[in-house]
């Protein structure tokens, strides 16, 4: 199996490192437009193999897509990261051009690849890549929900003083302030979270989750990378190993949840064919309203991209 990660910045390099360490593929190609960066980081990851005991070969490339040929999965992290005061939507014009160019090259050399988008604004970049690729919606998806639920679960684990391993959660909608965490579907070791925490504390955690990316940008002056890179790697692993994992993933909706032609995070089954099933939950009225608000925001940004 061969996996390519386009963009050797912090997120892309973290993703490649996790993929190598977990031996998800035989070969991981790291590609970047900046001379020598991908080669250096991939060499560094390879030199770590005797220490951490893995076999995955990591190969770097400066904008030479021929080295990515025949990839089974391609992760696209290319684009400018957020700076303090910027929203994800501020990045739309610049990053759309980058994602379109990368997608075109990816499909040219790996026409059968499954594509995972990490670039921001996530939902709209997934839209751009899906249109540019010409691939079915099952093979072009965005990584957001895994990251957002991880933040939600981490905050809950801290508040409850329990292991994050025992917390399961579902989160839907766009990747941003209008995301829709679903406490009704959140459990701790099988116990509904509402039985373990006060409603006001839970609501505070939900709100912190919605602005979780911005919190890190304020602290570091740039976007997060450890959790996003690891989340993308988890999606790759589910596909490469045909694990049939249930994850929240950004996908084009075609009537599910009463929504058509919008790209939103919803629970899906991930396997060797990409998105093998979109799972429709029975949302209550308040949850439907929140999802509709999220849809409206994403669609508005999609419209901005269409007019460019």
Q: What is the pLDDT of residues 246-260, one digit of tens each?
A: 999 999 999 999 999
Does position 68 have pLDDT exceeding 90, yes or no? yes
Q: What is the mean pLDDT of the chain?
A: 95
pTM of the model: 0.96
The beta strands (E) that lie in 226-300 are given as: 245-254, 260-271, 274-278
Does position 27 have pLDDT exceeding 70, yes or no? yes
What is the pLDDT, as a whole number, of residue 80? 83
CA angle 233, 277, 212 (to 5 degrees): 45
Three-state DSSP at 240 gives helix
Q: What is the pLDDT of residues 192-210, one digit of tens each?
A: 999 999 999 999 999 999 9
Does position 81 have pLDDT exceeding 80, yes or no? no
Of 109, 130, 175, 297, which residue is the catalytic one?
175
What is the pLDDT, as a whole number, of residue 248? 97
CA angle 240, 244, 247 (to 5 degrees): 100
Selection from 231, 232, 253 nearest residue 298 by Cα? 253
Q: What is the pLDDT of residues 137-166, one digit of tens each?
A: 999 999 999 999 999 999 999 999 999 999
Catalytic status, residue 175: yes
What is the pLDDT, as a whole number, of residue 88? 60
Higher pLDDT, 80 or 302: 302
What is the pLDDT, as a whole number, of residue 177? 86
């Amino acid at each position: 199996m061969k996996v390519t990660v386009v963009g050797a910045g912090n997120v892309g390099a973290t993703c490649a490192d996790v993929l190598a360490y977990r031996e998800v593929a035989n070969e991981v190609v790291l590609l970047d437009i900046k001379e020598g960066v991908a080669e250096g980081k991939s060499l560094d990851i390879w030199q770590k193999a005797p220490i951490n005991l893995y076999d995955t070969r990591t190969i770097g490339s400066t904008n030479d897509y021929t080295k990515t040929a025949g990839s089974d999965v391609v992760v696209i992290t290319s684009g400018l990261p957020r700076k303090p005061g910027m929203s994800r939507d501020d990045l739309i014009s610049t990053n759309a051009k980058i994602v379109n160019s990368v997608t075109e090259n990816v499909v040219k050399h790996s026409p059968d690849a499954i594509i995972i988008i990490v670039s921001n604004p996530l939902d709209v970049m997934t839209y751009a890549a899906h249109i540019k690729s010409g691939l079915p919606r099952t093979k072009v998806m965005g990584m957001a929900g895994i990251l957002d639920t991880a933040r939600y679960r981490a905050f809950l684990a801290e508040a409850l003083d329990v292991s994050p391993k025992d917390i399961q959660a579902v989160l839907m909608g766009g990747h941003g302030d209008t995301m829709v965490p679903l406490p009704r579907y959140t459990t701790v070791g099988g116990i509904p979270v509402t039985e373990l925490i006060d409603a006001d504390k839970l609501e505070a955690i939900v709100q912190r989750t919605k602005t979780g990316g911005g919190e890190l940008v304020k602290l570091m002056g740039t976007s997060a990378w450890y959790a996003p890179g690891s989340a993308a790697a988890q999606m790759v692993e589910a596909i490469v190993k045909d694990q049939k994992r249930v994850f929240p993933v950004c996908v084009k909706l075609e009537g599910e949840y009463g929504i058509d032609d919008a790209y939103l995070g919803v629970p899906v089954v991930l396997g060797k064919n990409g998105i093998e099933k979109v799972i429709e939950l029975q949302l209550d009225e308040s949850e439907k309203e929140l999802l509709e608000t999220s849809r409206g925001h994403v669609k508005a940004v999609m419209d901005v991209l269409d007019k460019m």
